Amino acid sequence: MQLALRIIIAGLLLLALAFASYRAGFNARCEVGSMTGALPSDKLKAVHDAGFDWARRAAMCSMGDYQVVTPNEHRQRTDLIIIRKARPFLLVNDQETDLFDDSGQHILFSLTGATAERDKAISFSTYDQAKGAQIENFDFHADGTLDYRTTAINGRRVKQEFRVGEQWLEVVLRDGRTGVVFNGRFMPVADAIKLSEKSEAK
């Protein structure tokens, strides 16, 4: 978690330097155009899904291995994209911040803003080298308590778990329904959480 935050701060400092240089007129390494050529086709989907449609006409500044991309028009949204070695590195818009690993495939850290439909949420991923497992953790309410996690190991089914009280329960499928086994009974996750909260309140 601390590593992810350090990388975000470094990325934002990189952006500030590039953006200040661009505004000041030091744009020898900047250009305006479509950023679609800066990423391979399999990485463009993540950019499109994040709502960066302005990227077809954007201001792009190159700094070593990095390319900083922002909307070209001053009055457009304050979004930004940082690309590293032709892979997404950092995506920021008014609702979400996503930091990617070196592959550009996995999100190391994500902060999603609150809307009328959902609370603010945080997620981060780690890699267990001993098990060869990619673990994604989700804090659905950004209150400092993890609520859900997935564990992916090549060749195996992705393991899903919900926090119920002080324990992690794996999601299982029974008779076409998904749920967890809590106190020896199979039930929906929401029911298990409610029962756990009642027990803790006693």
pLDDT tens sequence across 24-56:
444 447 888 776 666 666 656 666 565 666 767
So what's the pLDDT on residue 14? 57
List, for residues 153-186, the tens digit of each pLDDT value.
Answer: 988 999 999 999 999 999 999 999 999 999 999 9
Amino acid at 57: R
| SS3 (DSSP) at 199 | helix
Backbone angles phi, psi at 2, to 5 degrees: -65, -40
So what's the pLDDT on residue 42? 62
- CA dist 201 and 197 (Å) reads 6
Amino acid at 113: G
| SS3 (DSSP) at 191 | helix
CB atoms within 10 A of CB 169: 19
Any idea which of 26-40, 78-92, 104-118 has the lowest mean pLDDT? 26-40
Report the predicted TM-score, pTM, of the whole model to 2 decimal places.
0.72
Q: Which two tokens stand for residue 33?
A: 């155009």
So what's the pLDDT on residue 181? 97
Longest Cα–Cα distance in the chain:
67
List, for residues 120-153, the tens digit of each pLDDT value.
Answer: 999 999 999 998 999 999 999 999 999 999 999 9
